[in-house]
């Protein structure tokens, strides 16, 4: 058992110590350039007519997030470009993605298994960038937890925010670029999982809650969760993988329980109001039936009294008896029909 735990820790340490440059950085660059090419469309008119603008947009998609993160912590934004080998690697990848003869490199990278592997490796690169931002910002602002998390979040998720700027550079309408970027599954889920990863690294660094676990194991578990979320999106799983967690937080923290309690109280009050309304309607029906019975009895007694007073008018009394009997039957039938309609109405709506 101890040997298996040691092997797991060693494996986690290998993943934690894996360098970003050049392999993970190359994966990140190729993934970003594939997204830029997908946004440009299959015609590639912009890359042919305006190659410098296309190169500028690709560089902004790679170095825009580090430059914005450095600006937030009051450091020179050009510090993101100080490594010349990174700029050279990005430029070579840009040329291979857009200008390879017969489009061979793009076809190889766009192959589904290769694209899936790039997407999963890119999540490991994102996790490393988040951890680096947490460590670097903690040294500058050790007590400002909000700034630490904000810089890590911006460092890992700036592609949707840069879409309007990239669209302006290419001459594309801004709403089109926003609809292409914001409604992508990655743009909807990646910010949430990046925020959770930043919170985990901050808790590990500033508290003792995760102190029993080694850092390599915490980093590996966080990276595996991010890879799992990206894998579910790549496989076309409908819905957000974080929907259950969001539902729990909505119920416990963000007013879901209070709303459910208010709805229960309103439903109880509405049922009481409906019961009172049914009771009042039944009382009115009983009073109406009583008054109708009095009228029908009066109409039935009047001909009998007239018969006793004037025996010679037997034919008129018989006709009055017939009319009274008919009115009693019709009133009884109407009352029965009205009762049936009221019962059906109450069963359907109450």
Query: Which residue, 230, 254, 278, sits at the end of a domain?
Result: 254
- Note whether 191 and 333 are same-domain residues: no
What residues have CB less than 8 Å from 160, skipping those under 6 apart? 181, 182, 187, 191
- Note whether 88 and 131 are same-domain residues: yes
Q: Give the predicted TM-score (pTM) of the model.
A: 0.69
pLDDT at 180 over 50: no
3-state secondary structure of 82: coil
Tens of pLDDT, residue by residue over 259-303, are 777 777 776 766 666 666 665 665 555 444 445 444 444 444 444
The closest of 137, 124, 3 to 72, measured between CA atoms, is 137
- Note whether 225 and 345 are same-domain residues: no
Query: Which residue, 231, 254, 277, sits at the end of a domain?
Result: 254
Q: Are 70 and 31 in contact (CB under 8 A)?
A: no
Query: Which residue, 254, 275, 292, sits at the end of a domain?
Result: 254
User: Between these two residues, 103 and 271, which has the higher pLDDT value?
Assistant: 103
| Count: domains in the chain | 2
Q: Band the pLDDT of 94: cuts 50, 70, 90.
A: very high
pLDDT of the residue at 133: 93
| Residue numbers of the domain that contains 72 | 2-254
Q: How far does CA 121 lie from the centroid of its chain?
A: 25
- Note whether 239 and 296 are same-domain residues: no
- Note whether 239 and 268 are same-domain residues: no
pLDDT at 306 over 60: no
pLDDT of the residue at 198: 92
- Note whether 324 and 271 are same-domain residues: yes
pLDDT at 35 over 70: yes
- Name the average pLDDT for the chain: 74
pLDDT of the residue at 277: 65
Other Cβ atoms within 10 Å of 116 Cβ, number: 14
């Amino acid at each position: 058992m101890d040997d298996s735990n040691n092997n797991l820790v060693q494996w986690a340490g290998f993943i934690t110590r894996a360098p970003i440059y050049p392999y993970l950085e190359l994966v990140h660059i190729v993934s970003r350039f594939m997204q830029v090419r997908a946004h440009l469309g299959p015609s590639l008119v912009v890359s042919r007519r305006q190659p410098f603008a296309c190169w500028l947009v690709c560089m902004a998609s790679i170095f825009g997030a580090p430059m914005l993160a450095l600006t937030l912590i009051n450091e020179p934004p050009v510090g993101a470009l100080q490594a010349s080998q990174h700029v050279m690697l990005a430029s070579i990848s840009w040329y291979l993605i857009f200008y390879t003869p017969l489009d061979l490199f793009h076809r190889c990278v766009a192959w589904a298994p290769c694209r899936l592997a790039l997407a999963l490796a890119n999540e490991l690169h994102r996790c490393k960038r988040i951890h680096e931002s947490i460590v670097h910002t903690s040294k500058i602002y050790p007590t400002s937890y909000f700034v630490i998390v904000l810089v890590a979040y911006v460092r890992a998720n700036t592609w949707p925010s840069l879409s309007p700027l990239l669209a302006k550079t290419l001459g594309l309408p801004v709403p089109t670029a926003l609809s292409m970027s914001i409604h992508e599954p990655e743009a909807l889920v990646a910010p949430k999982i990046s925020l959770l990863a930043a919170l985990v690294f901050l808790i590990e660094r500033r508290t003792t809650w995760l102190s029993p676990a080694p850092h390599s194991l915490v980093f590996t578990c966080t990276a595996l969760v991010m890879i799992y979320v990206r894998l579910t999106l790549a496989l076309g799983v409908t819905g957000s993988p974080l929907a259950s967690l969001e539902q729990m937080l909505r119920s416990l923290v963000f007013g879901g329980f209070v709303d459910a309690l208010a709805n229960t109280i309103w439903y109880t009050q509405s049922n009481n109001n409906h019961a009172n309304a049914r009771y009042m309607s039944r009382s009115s029906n009983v009073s109406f039936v009583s008054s109708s019975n009095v009228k029908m009895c009066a109409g039935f007694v009047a001909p009998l009294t007239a018969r006793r007073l004037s025996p010679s008018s037997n034919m008129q009394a018989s006709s009055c008896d017939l009319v009274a009997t008919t009115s009693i039957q019709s009133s009884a039938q109407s009352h029965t029909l009205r009762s049936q309609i009221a019962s059906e109405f109450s069963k359907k709506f109450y």
